[in-house]
Amino acid sequence: MTCVMVIVHYTAVETSIIGWRGQHTQTEQIFTTSKFKLDTLADSESKNRDVVLKLYDALRSRDVDSVHRTLTPDLDYWFHGPPPHQFLMRTLTGVSPPFQFSPLSVVSFGSTVIAEGCDAASSVSWIHAWTVSHGVITQVREYSNTSLTVTRIGSVVAGRSAEIRASHCPSVWESKFSGRAGKSVPGLVLAI
């Protein structure tokens, strides 16, 4: 009888150790998977940023072939600002002499890459919000003489949309050069 108790006790201890090891292994897997996802996201953001920087290099050197390889043929273009300041569209279509876009700041948030610059001589600040998919730019939003705040929308919880509140929409980026235009400018929020 004592022997059976020892075996049962040993089995219970062994089971709890195996159970703990199983949980520990699951925790390690979750941590490793999360770290892999973060590394993959950071790598993806870096690649997206590189695509946008290559586009600016191609625009600066007037390398039309590189520009065409970087942009999808059906580029989705949005503009906010004074109509005469649609510099990017005019540059891409060759309607007017190219505007010199020299980004002072370029940051990535997933598939969205934000580039900001300012031409002090013409009192124009600009922001481009690029969307990159599979190494190609599919959308651009051009903002001219506009203050922009980028926010991240709350996530979906248990299959339902999370209630959107200020705490779920943190500001992840704010334009810094819109004040250099020398005048008051409108402010917009871009939700990603």
Cβ pair 173, 150 in contact under 8 A: yes
| Cβ neighbours for 187, distance < 8 A, ≥ 6 positions apart | 146, 147, 148, 149
Which residue would you say has higher pLDDT here, 41 or 52? 52
Would you say residue 49 lies in a domain? Answer: yes
pLDDT at 6: 35
Distance (Å) of CA 67 to CA 71, 73, 127: 6, 11, 19
Would you say residue 28 lies in a domain? Answer: no
**Distance separating alpha carbons of residues 15 and 77, to the nearest angstrom:** 61
By CB neighbour count within 10 A (0-12 exposed, 13-18 middle, 19+ buried), where does 181 fall? buried
pLDDT at 36: 56
Would you say residue 71 lies in a domain? Answer: yes
Would you say residue 8 lies in a domain? Answer: no
Domain that holds residue 130: 37-191
Would you say residue 19 lies in a domain? Answer: no
pLDDT at 182: 62
Number of domains present in the structure of the chain: 1
Cβ pair 90, 99 in contact under 8 A: yes
Distance (Å) of CA 163 to CA 22, 87, 189: 36, 38, 18
68-87 mean pLDDT: 95
pTM value is 0.71
**Distance separating alpha carbons of residues 134 and 111, to the nearest angstrom:** 9
